[in-house]
A and B are shown apart, each in its own frame.
Chain A
Amino acid sequence: MLSEWVGVLLFLVGGLAVGAGGILTAFLIAPRRRQGSKYEPYECGMETIGPTWVQFKTSYFLYALLFVIFDVETIYLYPWAVKFQSLGLFAFIEMIIFIFILVVGLWYAWKEGALEWK
């Protein structure tokens, strides 16, 4: 019996093959003509001003940070959810405490204005 991860690996290669198939065929049969200003960044006909890779709005990073915190907590909730029915009162109280911690975290982020788009 093959391990299930062999199947997963095979599907990974399959997904890669779909992408590679399309792109490689296009590379083989599509024309390539180096001419004009075709290789400039597209910007509605204007020439681009200044560098593109710059420091960007920090709100995005705040959301990313929040996401990391909450996502890790969510991962911990999954094993608990699976075993919830067989753990009884203990798991029930534990859940209340855990969700309470999550809610406090969300409330704090909210209060500090991390959820506002400025």
Chain B
Amino acid sequence: MGENLFTGIAAWMRTALLDIGTPPLLSEFIVLLVKLLAVIIFVSLNVLWLVYMERKVCAYIQCRIGPNRVGPKGLLQTVADVLKLLGKEIIVPRRVDKIVYLAAPLLVFVPPMMAFAVIPWGNGMAPVEMNIGIFYVLAVASLSTLIFWMGGWSSYNKYSLVGGMRVVAQMVSYELPLVLALLGVVMLAGTLNINDIVNAQRQVWFVFAQPLAFLIYLTAGISEVNRVPFDLVEGESEIIAGPYTEYSGMAYAMYMLAEYANMMVVACMATIMFLGGWLAPFGWTFLPSWFWFFIKVYALIFLFMWIRWTYPRIRVDQLMGFGWKVLVPLSLANIFVTGVGMYVYRAIGW
């Protein structure tokens, strides 16, 4: 049911373009362009929905109702917010570094979009097939550190400076356990190709083979997207949204939307590496593969929101100590145990 819906459309478009005499290279390019457009639309809609979902989840956790005025059940609340921000002045304070200050919100959507390029949204639905997919996503996703730092430094504002410093320190510290946790999965799968990693989980999801790595990845991932309990970077009550303090209007909205896009990247990666990507659990293939991927990603995102509205913020020294003294040694131990386990497993020859 609908399994080949999107791959079918892509294949049909390719043949249709070839039929009307388009050169193969050009038709390939046009199909790629359509895929890009589809991803942009999908991601934008998701981000709008996620902002709404966050507010609703938060409201229900706090025994409130949440946005319920604009549109049915408040569904159009975020749309209205973005439209309002579109009509607000982008204030460029006097002493900021103008070029960097304006470049940061322009660039902020680039890392998540580039990561989305290789995410398989369903069976054979990765916009770009790449042999070193995992490595590529890790490399691209860590670029967002730089962009937050650009915003924090160029704002010429003390809150932003502290926020920018914290972004660099925090993202850099939690990048290590994140990367090391994925290493265990790469060892088991023996490949960096995202499709092959998903297919390697046909028997058992890697969350069961690498439970510790999964927990480390989730913790580090929440920290990478600067969410509670690791939201020292933004800390509304102490440094007034950190790097975004001086931003207003659409520039601010870009940051906020990109934050949710980054959250989607982390959830997608966790789904691919640990939860079997687009594979259906228990062989329940009555739902198409892209729908299973969607469900898993949203389950993880809901978990992130749940954590955000349940735990308080931790202190800076606790944050750094936890990253370097707990997560890094744990992830190194995980690699070691995985290696020994795999070697013993093969030596015994089960």
Residues of chain A having any CB pair with chain B under 8 Å: 1-2, 4, 6-8, 10-12, 14-20, 22-23, 25-27, 29-33, 38-44, 48, 52-53, 56-57, 59-60, 63-64, 66-67, 70-71, 74, 77-78, 81-86, 89, 92, 95-96, 99, 102-103, 106, 110, 115-117
Q: How far is the CB of A76 from chain B (nearest CB, A)?
A: 11
Contact A115-B320, Cβ < 8 Å, known A39-B91, A52-B157, A78-B183 = yes
Complex-state Cα separation, A37 to B277, whole angstroms: 52
Name the B residues within 8 Å of A10 (CB-CB).
32-33, 36, 117
A81 lies within 8 A of B321 (CB): no
Closest 10 CB pairs of A and B: A15-B113, A7-B128, A26-B250, A117-B317, A15-B110, A11-B117, A19-B106, A67-B172, A18-B109, A81-B186
Contact A71-B179, Cβ < 8 Å, known A23-B90, A84-B342 = yes
Complex-state Cα separation, A38 to B88, whole angstroms: 14
Stretch of B55-63, B69-77, B327-335 at the chain-chain interface: B327-335
A56 lies within 8 A of B157 (CB): no
- Mostly, the B contact residues are helix
B116 at the interface (CB under 8 A from A): yes
Name the A residues within 8 Å of B106 (CB-CB).
16, 19-20, 23
A84 lies within 8 A of B240 (CB): no
Interface centre among A25, A83, A117 (most CB of B within 10 A): A117
Residues of chain B having any CB pair with chain A under 8 Å: 25, 28-29, 32-33, 36, 39-40, 44, 85-95, 102, 105-114, 116-117, 127-131, 135-136, 153, 155-159, 161, 165, 168-169, 172-173, 175-176, 179-180, 183, 186-187, 190-192, 240, 245-246, 249-251, 253-254, 316-317, 320-321, 324-325, 328-329, 332, 335-336, 339-340, 342-343, 346
Complex-state Cα separation, A14 to B117, whole angstroms: 10
B183 lies within 8 A of A77 (CB): yes
B40 lies within 8 A of A18 (CB): yes
Complex-state Cα separation, A97 to B333, whole angstroms: 13
Other than the given A15-B110, A19-B110, 17 more pairs (CB < 8 A) read A8-B114, A8-B136, A12-B113, A16-B107, A19-B108, A23-B250, A30-B90, A30-B249, A33-B89, A39-B93, A53-B161, A60-B169, A64-B168, A74-B179, A77-B180, A83-B190, A84-B190
